[in-house]
Homo-oligomer: A and B are copies of this chain.
């Protein structure tokens, strides 16, 4: 798993049906890094440092079997410093 910082919510009104009903957040792995998009089943807020799981495990980690995610937040880190 990799460590990311939550930036904000991503708005995409035009999604495939399988992706509905889960929040998508933009996350970065370092200051100035390229934002990636993660599914958030935990409930994060901007500024949180989180653990994200990729690969096929990202799918079930959403809590919905077979969800089409390749990056899912699986935990919020306590006391991580930049």
Question: Interface on A for B, CB 8 Å cutoff?
Answer: 1-3, 10-16, 18-19, 24, 29-30, 34-38, 41-42, 51, 53-61, 63, 66-72, 74-79
Contact = CB atoms under 8 A, between A and B. Distances in A.
Contacts of A30: 34
Given A36-B3, A38-B1, A69-B1, A19 B57 contact: no
Copies of this subunit: 5
Given A11-B79, A16-B63, A54 B51 contact: no
B69 A12 contact: no
A57 B74 CA distance: 17
Contacts of A71: 1
A73 to B, nearest CB: 8
Chain A to chain B: the 4 pairs with minimum beta-carbon distance, closest first: A12-B75, A15-B75, A61-B68, A1-B37
